[in-house]
Amino acid sequence: MKNIVIASLIALLLSGCVYRSTAHAGKDFDETKATQLVSGKTTDSQLVALLGEPVKKEIVNDHEVKWIYEYVTSTAAVKMFNPNPKVDVSKKALEVLLRDGIVVNHALTNPGTTQYR
């Protein structure tokens, strides 16, 4: 009887154990500064001063390049004795098209957090 009580207490204590892990990808940026970009006026050097270097640059053609600012955070939580982890993913991205060093267009995507159960 004593062994059953001890085993039950251990199982009860372990059932509340949660392992959490957080991972980041990309480079965080202040998305509110995207409102300061002016198509046809903002230069590449002003863009760097405002947001820093982008995560990647994609050459579109001889005159155009797309700068991509992107940041992803994912948090996973696994509860003991539960095979289904809880995963939350947040992503924000800013794509800026430059022609000959001048911003011609930009798009901000910030859908918030997606939850996977």
What pTM, to 2 d.p., does this model score?
0.75
Q: Tell me what pLDDT residue 77 has.
A: 85
Reported as a single tens digit per residue, the pLDDT across 20-36 is 788 889 999 998 999 99
Domain spanning 18-116, CATH class? alpha beta
Domain positions in the chain: 18-116
Q: Tell me what pLDDT residue 84 has.
A: 78
Tell the burial category of 46 from Cβ atoms under 10 Å away from its Cβ (0-12, 13-18, 19+): middle
In this structure, what token pair is assigned to residue 80?
């003991």
Nearest to 78 by CA among 26, 16, 6: 16
Contact 71, 62 (CB under 8 A): no
Type of residue found at 98: L
